[in-house]
């Protein structure tokens, strides 16, 4: 899917230019979410976005950031949840999108798991093995970064492009030896596998990853109040978790709501939440994130993708693809 996406990106650039906000009526929006375990699923499950904005929201579930980018480019989606790798790829193609919120700084919530009995005991054992990962995803980026850190030529590993649900099915059939993925697929493969590394370690090797909420620039210009409200509601959910997360146990109401939206096991949800950092709005507005650090992170990711021959160039400046304005407005309300 990823190779096709990279080939389609020039066409998607044209689609962006031709399409408008793509809403059928005022106060109606299509938002792409993924099955990632994170605090704002509570607000989504409770209908808080609809209640507090008065908008009709069509929530659409996607399996990867690459798919979200394609939908946003076509005009079918106005806001979407993506990882840093597809974000960087889209920005490099100069698609008119902007990052409005860091959804999660990824740690152990994404991991490379090797099948028990696969014969993989150390990184070098990956050579010749079948490793599944969703292409143009944060886990794809992390896998390539880990292989580089270990001095392993990616061409010597059979890297397969599979969606998370396809990874689970392939794992159960015994078709793959390892997978780099997130929950709920991660929880499934862990049942009969061992973690070889995770994204917290890969971050220490110089390749941090994050998830983000992006918006079409035309939609943001037309409806800044909705985008600000979306950021405020999401930020409140993160702050609630940061303050009360210890009470979000496996048998809690919060775990039940997250499980229903993601398909993750309620028993796994507390540990998965601890595997990422969910920045508060104050942290979002800092120079470490939207006011500087995120821009550099997108640039660094793009440079790595170019080195891996996943993109053809790197822009001189990624500032226009990160916009802290809506966070600042949310903080002032």
Q: 110-204 has which CATH code?
A: 3.40.190.10
pLDDT, residue 6, reads 47
Distances (CA, A) of 314 to 10, 13, 41, 96, 207: 15, 16, 34, 16, 17
Query: For residue 125, how many other CB atoms are within 10 A of its CB?
Result: 15
CB hemisphere CA count around 307 (13 angstroms):
12
203-237 per-position pLDDT tens digit = 999 999 999 999 999 999 999 999 999 999 999 99
Percentage of the chain modeled with pLDDT above 70: 92
Is it the case that residue 320 has pLDDT exceeding 70? yes
CA distance 251 to 310: 43
245-287 per-position pLDDT tens digit = 999 999 999 999 999 999 999 999 999 999 999 999 999 999 9
Spatial strand order in the sheet of 97-106: 56-62, 28-34, 79-83, 210-216, 97-106, 276-277
129-176 per-position pLDDT tens digit = 999 999 989 999 999 999 999 999 999 999 999 999 999 999 999 999
pLDDT, residue 20, reads 43
- Architecture of the 2-106+209-332 domain: 3-Layer(aba) Sandwich (3.40)
289-313 per-position pLDDT tens digit = 999 999 999 999 999 999 888 888 9
40-56 per-position pLDDT tens digit = 999 999 999 999 999 99
pLDDT, residue 310, reads 86
81-123 per-position pLDDT tens digit = 999 999 999 999 999 999 999 999 999 999 999 999 999 999 9
Where exactly are the structural domains of the chain?
Answer: 2-106+209-332, 110-204
Long-range contacts at 261-264 (CB < 8 A, ≥ 24 apart): 261/33, 261/35, 261/41, 261/44, 261/45, 262/35, 262/36, 262/37, 262/41, 262/183, 262/184, 263/35, 263/184, 264/35, 264/37, 264/183, 264/184, 264/187
What is the per-residue burial (b if ≥16 Cβ within 10 Å, else e) of 230-261?
bbbbbbbbbbbbeeebeebeeeeebbebbbeb
Is it the case that residue 18 has pLDDT exceeding 70? no
pLDDT, residue 14, reads 47
Fold equal for 2-106+209-332 and 110-204: yes
Cα-atom radius of gyration of the chain, to the nearest Å?
19
């Amino acid at each position: 899917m990823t190779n096709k996406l990279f080939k389609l990106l020039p066409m998607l650039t044209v689609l962006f230019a031709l399409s408008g906000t793509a809403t059928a009526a005022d106060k109606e929006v299509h938002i792409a979410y993924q099955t990632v375990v994170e605090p704002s699923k509570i607000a989504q499950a409770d209908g808080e976005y609809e209640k507090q904005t008065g908008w009709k929201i069509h929530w659409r579930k996607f399996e990867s950031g690459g798919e979200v980018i394609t939908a946003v480019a076509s005009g079918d989606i106005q806001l979407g949840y993506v990882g840093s790798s597809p974000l960087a790829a889209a920005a490099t193609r100069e698609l008119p999108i902007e990052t409005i919120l860091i959804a999660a700084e990824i740690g152990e919530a994404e991991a490379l798991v090797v099948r028990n009995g696969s014969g993989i005991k150390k990184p070098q054992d990956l050579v010749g093995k079948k490793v599944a990962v969703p292409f143009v995803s944060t886990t794809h980026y992390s896998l390539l970064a880990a292989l580089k850190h270990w001095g392993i030529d990616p061409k010597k590993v059979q890297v397969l492009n599979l969606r998370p649900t396809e990874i689970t099915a392939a794992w159960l059939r015994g078709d793959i030896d390892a997978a780099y993925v997130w929950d709920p697929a991660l929880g499934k493969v862990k049942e009969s596998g061992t973690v070889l590394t995770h994204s917290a370690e890969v971050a220490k090797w110089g390749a941090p990853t994050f998830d983000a909420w992006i918006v079409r620039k035309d939609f943001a210009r037309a409806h800044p109040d909705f985008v600000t409200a979306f950021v405020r509601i999401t930020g409140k959910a993160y702050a609630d978790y940061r303050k009360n997360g210890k009470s979000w146990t496996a048998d809690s109401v919060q775990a039940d709501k997250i499980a229903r939206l993601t398909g993750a096991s309620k028993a796994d949800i507390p540990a998965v939440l601890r595997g990422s950092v969910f920045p508060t709005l104050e942290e979002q507005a800092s120079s470490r994130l939207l006011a500087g650090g995120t821009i550099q992170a997108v640039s660094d990711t793009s440079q790595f993708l170019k080195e891996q021959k996943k993109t053809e160039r790197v822009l001189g400046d990624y500032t226009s693809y990160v916009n802290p304005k809506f966070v600042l407005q949310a903080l002032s309300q």
